[in-house]
Structure 1
Amino acid sequence: MSAPRAVAPVLDHIRVGSAPDSWGVWFPDDEQQVPWQRFLDEVAEAAYEWIELGPYGYLPTDPAVLRDELAPRELKVSAGTIFTSMHHGPATWDKTWAHVSEVATLTQAMGAKHLVVIPSFWRDDKTAEEIEPRELTVEQWQHLTTGMERLGKTVQDEFGLEIVVHPHADTHIDTEEHVGRFLDATDSRLVNLCLDTGHYAYCGGDSVKLIRTYGERIGYLHLKQVDPDILAEVVAKGTPFGPAVKQGVMCEPPLGVPALPPVLEAAQALNVDLFAIVEQDMYPCPPDQPFPIAQRTRRLLSSCGA
């Protein structure tokens, strides 16, 4: 008698999507990137229902135009993305808010509820020059946490959106220590986390442990994996994030770490609805590379129950 087949758990709290990032899109306009129409066609054909806006200006910024493009493809928007340097203190607020309000206006108009907040880099992506020290001072940490809380409250009041801060390689919110310090110093009513499984692994963190420890602060997921062999070389050589991506440090699931089924099951156990947006950093990449990867990744997630 054959052993019973394993049945994938039902991940009914996980809403799977993808993003322009998985098509090699990092900038609003870049000749190395696929046109936005092709991204929308392919992400829909790969059977994703949700997308992020990506860098502001890549997709149409007129809500009526964007709705007309998404509707026939049966796509919906889960979040917009913003970039901040809150550790620089109140002097950066006006410039930050000008950027945030543009993205938030479109995000709100598209019916999404989240803004993914990415902190600024401490070193140049291309030259590897250290623009700032890797570690923040006590005063800068205070600016960072109070600034993010102010941003969270203002975004809630003005647009009805939630901010989810994205720990990211080569930023000051990256490692387990830094992520924990940030969460412990911020108010969960104003600021929560976008856990990017790839970036967190890149910086030495354990996503399942983070979900189990700070479950109430996990407001959003990015699903991503790193190639451990390439990562070891990147760490040994001190390679900046941009060149590391060109080396293929972020790889197609299930070829890297962390394993996604335990992450998804830990997220499901939180018993709250969560977006899980696939992101595979591939900038730059050949235009025909993303689509088959997107199809395979969607099938993989379906096999996991998502």
Structure 2
Amino acid sequence: MSVRLGINPLTWTNDDMPSLGGDTPLEVCLSEGREAGFSGFELGHKFPRDPEVLGPILDKHGLSLVSGWYSSELLTRSAEEEIEALKPHLHLLKSLGATAMVFCEVTHCVHGQRDVPLSHSPSMSEAEWQTFIPRLNRVADYCLEQGVQIAYHHHLGTVIETPEEIDRLMAETRPSVGLLLDSGHLVGAGGDPVAVQKQYAERIVHVHCKDIRKEVLADARNRDLSFLDGVLNGMFTVPGDGYIDYVTLFQGLRESGYEGWVVVEAEQDPAVAHPLTYARLGCDSLKRFCAEAGLSITE
């Protein structure tokens, strides 16, 4: 069993706060990501969305398309409407060989609002759960039929954030709904990535690796800060620069036969955290953790 190492362009330029790294060209992101040692990239807002345009750009850098974020609104539109809305994104992923779609319900989300503290994260009513689950199952079935599996992203500031919400999501959805395991978001929500990996090993189809600076997370919670203020204060960092136990997590991935991407996705202020420096640190750390866990890497 082996994994591939990818990175998200958030290291260079931020989607939730476009002013962070706003002047950094896509070319710089891709060239430095490759230089740091990664073999693939997730999508960001500066990426062309036409596969005939993006494909040659990635090929020039020797990079693969890993996946890309999709904002779903299943609480306010039907499964059929959501399928129509995601078709261009699905086409892009499928055309360039990505097999997982980073999928997150954004109705009522607060992670992009700097003036809303994380304590105000939304939750679904019972009626909303009863609406959401059948629609998500339908969309997931459709995507899987097209060769791309939904990797549901539990995310701070959204309706699926806590371990309890993940548990219900996994219990009530069909196997077509894969799980994206994000170590940083899980720790930020009070969860344990190692425990979740063991519990849902068969459902995990994508992995995001962001580390946590414990004291900054504690400060964000104690002062009831917003997600974006937590980011600006350095709550997240690349693997190897925080306190998450990636070796044990990766041992679990190896034992479960995981063969997908392992992706550095650690939003920081690039004016404070030099992107190439942190990209190299993240890649080197992942390689070391994989070696210690006995998890092989495909270049």
| Normalised TM-score (structure 2) | 0.89
Deviation of residue 187 (structure 1)? 0.6
Question: In the TM superposition, what whole-angstrom CA distance separates every residue of 1:237-271 from its partner, at most 9, and x where no partner exists?
Answer: 22121111011100233232322111111111111
Q: Is the 8 A contact 1:44 1:73 kept in 2?
A: yes
**Secondary structure class of the residue paired with 2:67:** strand
CA contact (8 A) 1:88 1:140 kept: no
Q: 1:113, 1:107 → 2: CA distance?
A: 7
In structure 2, the partner of 1:4 is none
Corresponding residue pairs, total:
288
**8 Å CA contact 1:86, 1:147 repeated in 2:** yes
Q: Pick closer, same or farther for the CA change 1:251–1:86 going to 2, 3 Å.
A: same
Q: CA separation in 1, counterparts of 2:243 and 2:133?
A: 30
Q: Report what 2:29 is aligned to.
A: 39
Over 3 Å off, 4+ runs = 27-32, 96-99
CA distance in 1, matches of 2:7, 2:190: 24
1:50–1:76 contact (8 Å) kept in structure 2: yes
Deviation at 1:64, TM superposition (A): 2.1
Partner of 1:248: 234
Stretch moving more, 270-279 or 60-69: 60-69
Residue of structure 2 equivalent to 1:81: 69
User: In structure 2, what is the equivalent of residue 65 of structure 1?
Assistant: 53
Deviations 1:53-90 (A, max 9, x none): 224xx212222221211112110012121011223353
Query: Which secondary structure state, in structure 1, belongs to the residue aligned with residue 91 of structure 2?
Result: helix
1:140-155 to structure 2, matched below 5 A, reads 140-155=128-143
> What is the deviation of 1:29?
6.6
Distance 2:205 2:121 in 1: 29
When normalised by structure 1's length, the TM-score is 0.87
Residue 289 of structure 1 aligns to which amino acid in structure 2? H
Paired residue for 2:279? 294
| Helix, strand or coil at the partner of 1:269 | helix
Partner of 2:209: 223
Q: Which string of whole-angstrom CA distances, capped at 9 and with x for unpartnered residues, describes residues 111-136 of structure 1?
A: 11111002215335222179x87321
Counterpart of 1:140 in structure 2: which amino acid?
Answer: E
| % same residue | 23
Q: Partner of 1:199 in structure 2?
A: 185
Which of 158, 163, 179 does residue 176 from structure 1 map onto? 163
Structure 1 unpaired stretches of 5+: 1-11
- Which of residues 25, 29, 33 is equivalent to 2:14? 25
| Helix, strand or coil at the partner of 1:216 | coil
RMSD, aligned CA = 2.4
CA shift at 1:31, angstroms?
A: 7.5
Measure how far apart 1:165 and its partner are: 0.3
Check conservation: 2:121, 2:156, Cα contact below 8 A. no
Unaligned runs of 5+ in 2: 292-296
Counterparts of 1:114 and 1:252 in 2: how far apart (Å)? 22
